[in-house]
Amino acid sequence: MGLSLLLASFALCVVIGMPVAFALGVASLAAFWYEGLPLLVGFQRIISGINVFSLMAIPFFIFAGELMFHGGIAMRLVRFAQAAVGAVRGGLGIVNVFSSMLFGGISGSAIADISALGSILVPVMKDKGYDADYAVNVTVTSSIAGIIIPPSHNMIIFALATGGAVSISKLFLAGVVPGILMCICLAVAAYLVAVKRGYGAEKFPGWMALALGFAGAIPGLLTAIIIVGGVLSGVFTVTESGAFGALYAFVVTLLVYRTITWEKFKTAVVQSVRTTSMVMILIACAAAFAYMLTFYRVPSKTVELLTGLSDNPILILLMINAVLLLLGMIMDMAALILICTPIFLPVAGALGMDPLQFGMMLLVNLGLGLCTPPVGSCLFVGCAVGKLPMEKAVRTIWPFYLAILVALMLITFMPALSLTLPGLIE
């Protein structure tokens, strides 16, 4: 009965329009009250959810991403990508994917990716004769590269959800190959759709333009190298690398690119504070919710249920993927990471799946949910940027969904994709 109250009260709060973070908190406190547990303990669980030093890295990563978004780094990455791959047929679609891979790996945010690159590339693609739905679909689906390719604050949230079972530095390495693989699959889809629709190719600008584009992109690309490299080398902790990355991004946009103004800086600060506040409240309330799930033995019961349905590991993993995909369509990503990790990680572990590989599978699943109706925030932002009704985008986005699903299946059933690079630092 208590578990039913927990889930029903959460569902009711979401249905009436309450923010997910508060819905998690209200449902958790209702379950505490029903079980006769002191509400003080519930509030202690909420506070303890964010009383983790490694979470200090999240506001720094978010601030660095906002500085790069407002500081013009995206434009230079687009120029480099266009010079490198723009000459392929339907090249602007591939440029879009390649730019997302570069910028997403720096900003770590899918929404920042769409806002920065979409506002640049979508109008250009329309002017070059590309259909609006194609431009929006490529932008939306490629934006989730920022969730997989390090540095990513979602990886920090996953590491927290595992209770310290995985290191953030290994998570960063684990995301490199899956992230690049997903972008390759999306680039192939973008090319095939472009060929089918008869889009042309851009003229190769020459090796000098390619060299100049690369030179202009180097200061921005170094942000990710500094953050990830500092963590892997042991020079920085994750929190220190985030702080240094934010400082470096500010110096680059102020002194090297000279594109950050006082107004843009204030906007970056305000947006960072808002985003950080939402993430921290969500983490705090999800900690209490996860505590009650554990109290009701949901993780162990889930293991028993899934292993009881089948003894075939492939079928069980497919069922986990299906559940994560469905949940990703209707709930916020950070909340799902915190809720689903303690439930499904034991199941995956019982099947012999490494936590790092499970993390990549989880992030790709939930990233795809950001691109799907009815609650896909990336899809909403992309359609707003492209001035396209969502229903028109959804009608033709399926080849890109299929590309992500291909990458997801490879990540799920090929452990080497996620584990080879982390294994090098053991």
The residues near 30 (Cβ < 8 Å, ≥ 6 apart) are 5, 6, 9
The pLDDT value recorded for residue 86 is 66
User: Phi/psi of residue 94, each to 5°?
Assistant: -70, -35
Rounded mean pLDDT of 48-70? 77
**pLDDT above 70 (res 105):** no
For residue range 5-16, what is the model confidence (pLDDT) as tens digits? 888 888 888 788
Helix ranges (H only) for 296-354 are 298-309, 313-328, 333-350
User: Phi/psi of residue 223, each to 5°?
Assistant: -60, -50
Question: pTM for this one?
Answer: 0.83
Confidence of residue 374 (pLDDT cuts 50, 70, 90): low
- The whole-angstrom separation of Cα 167 and Cα 356 is 9
For residue range 397-416, what is the model confidence (pLDDT) as tens digits? 899 999 999 999 999 999 99
- The whole-angstrom separation of Cα 260 and Cα 281 is 30
**Among 83-87, 155-159, 366-370, where is mean pLDDT lowest?**
83-87
> What burial class does residue 2 get, using C-beta atoms within 10 Å of its C-beta: 0-12 exposed, 13-18 middle, 19+ buried?
middle
Cα-based angle 10, 13, 17 (whole degrees, multiple of 5): 140
Bigger pLDDT: 377 vs 195: 195
DSSP 331: S
Q: Which residues, in sequence order, are bridge partners of residue 89?
A: 201
Confidence of residue 272 (pLDDT cuts 50, 70, 90): confident
